[in-house]
Amino acid sequence: MNKAFWGLVRKEFIQVFRDRNMLRIVFAVPIIQLLLFGYVVKLDVKNIRMDVYDFDQSRLSREFVNSTSAGEYFLPTPAQIAILDLEANFQDGSRDMALIIPDGFGKGLESHQNVTIGLVADGSDANMTAIGSGYMARMAQKYARDVVNLRMPLEVKYDVLYNPEAESVYFMVPGIVATLLTMVTIMLTSMAIVRERESGTLEQLLVTPISSTTLLFGKVFPFAVLGLFEMTVALVVGVLWFDIPFVGSPVLLFGLSALYLLTTLGLGLFFSTVTSTQQQAMFFAWFFSVFAILTSGFFTPVWNMPKWLQYVTYVNPMRFFMNIVRGIMMKGAGVTHLLPDIYTLAIFGVIVFGFSAARFSKRAR
């Protein structure tokens, strides 16, 4: 039944290339998503807008304020409003922190005393506050020691591997690659099958001698190809536009992506068996994607979530794939390092695809 299989595949491609909406999903969406996410999704705390109230106005106080602007962590600006009104700038969201340097700061430091400065933070952004005040503490300590030339006998030498430039994009792009592959294959597969049912062509297909296995593979294969194509587009744009280093083996990445596709195509199949219109299918696929993305560790690490939510993430196949993509692309991880993820994905694939295929074939009979 080779002929029927290739017939299905060819037909599916003709349909995709003739549908403007599909074309948009396949070509425009990945690039827009990549650019938008690449530029927007930055969770590192930088550019903290900080009002400075310098009541000391000494050489040391000015030097200290200047030193805080190193490394783009803080954007110190002299405060324009009275200290009693400082909250107003927090309330309308135009400042994140305020630094208060009391009179006597410079003199105190010069006479080897301990001086106290004030830091007011808009705590509503908890992350910014925690990380930002950490930075400030480090900078203040360092400055105090530099003033008196005190050398700490014990220091930590950091050796940051994989992304020493600390670029957010390097971390996000592999995530987007995983996201795209997931969303596109689930959405397109479920919609394409439901469309056949909606238009009555599925019934016409079922009276032909095509076996349900051929039908199944003929329907999912084109979307596996498209999904991998999307991934390639995202990778190429990521490497060429954002200069992402690709450390590991592309072959391994594509091989494991194929393994992961078993699960996403299975999910697409499954959604097609529980919906009756393309809109519903799209809706289901979209709904699932939102859940999958948020619990995959894409934005925030899984181990940082509450315990119960961490257990929930175990039913999210994307979580494991995310780890694989980042591991291979950023760290050059090999099969041995990714074994637990690979096993899990294999189990997911067999169960999800097997179950959905059985369900699909049963309905097709």
Between residue 159 and residue 198, which ones bind other proteins under the rule CB under 8 A?
A: 159-164, 166-168, 170-171
Q: Whose structure tokens read 């999912």?
A: 220
Among the listed residues 199, 315, 350, 351, the single contact to other proteins using CB under 8 A: 199
According to the 3-state scheme, what is the secondary structure of 194-263? Answer: HHHHHHCHHHHHHCCCCCHHHHHHHHHHHHHHHHHHHHHHHHHHHHHHCCCCCCCCHHHHHHHHHHHHHH
Between residue 220 and residue 259, which ones bind other proteins under the rule CB under 8 A?
A: none
Task: Tell me 303's DSSP state.
Answer: G
In terms of CB distance, is 80 or 365 closer to other proteins?
365
Between residue 121 and residue 140, which ones bind other proteins under the rule CB under 8 A?
A: 121-131, 133-138, 140
Q: Smallest distance, Å, CB 248 to other proteins?
A: 10
Contacting range for other proteins; rule: CB under 8 A; set: 6-14, 179-187, 254-262, 345-353:
6-14
Q: Smallest distance, Å, CB 133 to other proteins?
A: 5
Size of the site for other proteins (CB under 8 A): 129
Among the listed residues 78, 82, 84, 92, the single contact to other proteins using CB under 8 A: 92
Q: Smallest distance, Å, CB 262 to other proteins?
A: 23
For residues 197 and 199, give the distance between their C-alpha atoms in angstroms, rounded to a whole number. Answer: 5
In the chain, the amino acid numbered 313 is T
Q: How many CB atoms lie within 10 A of CB 333?
A: 20
Between residue 32 and residue 91, which ones bind other proteins under the rule CB under 8 A?
A: 36-37, 39-47, 49, 64, 87-88, 90-91
For residues 62 and 55, give the distance between their C-alpha atoms in angstroms, rounded to a whole number. Answer: 10
x/- map, 99-118, other proteins, by CB under 8 A? ---------xx--xxxxxxx
According to the 3-state scheme, what is the secondary structure of 164-211? Answer: CCCCHHHHHHHHHHHHHHHHHHHHHHHHHHHHHHHHCHHHHHHCCCCC
Between residue 254 and residue 283, which ones bind other proteins under the rule CB under 8 A?
A: 278-280, 282-283
x/- map, 287-316, other proteins, by CB under 8 A? x--xx--xx---xxx-xxxx--x-------
Give me 298's structure tokens: 């894409």
Between residue 10 and residue 39, which ones bind other proteins under the rule CB under 8 A?
A: 10-11, 14-15, 18-19, 21, 24, 36-37, 39
Contact call for residue 209 and other proteins (CB under 8 A) = yes
Between residue 143 and residue 162, which ones bind other proteins under the rule CB under 8 A?
A: 143-144, 147-148, 150-162
In terms of CB distance, is 115 or 318 closer to other proteins?
115
For residues 249 and 321, give the distance between their C-alpha atoms in angstroms, rounded to a whole number. Answer: 15
In terms of CB distance, is 34 or 353 closer to other proteins?
34
Contact 332, 250 (CB under 8 A): no
Cα 347 to Cα 120, 174, 331, 342, 351: the distances in Å are 51, 23, 25, 9, 6
Contact 165, 244 (CB under 8 A): no
Contacting range for other proteins; rule: CB under 8 A; set: 204-212, 235-243, 254-262, 346-354:
204-212
Contacting range for other proteins; rule: CB under 8 A; set: 182-190, 222-230, 258-266, 325-333:
325-333
In terms of CB distance, is 133 or 249 closer to other proteins?
133
For 29-70, give the DSSP string.
HHHHHHHHHHHH---S---EEEEEEESS--HHHHHHHHHHTG
For residues 93 and 310, give the distance between their C-alpha atoms in angstroms, rounded to a whole number. Answer: 33
Q: Smallest distance, Å, CB 3 to other proteins?
A: 5
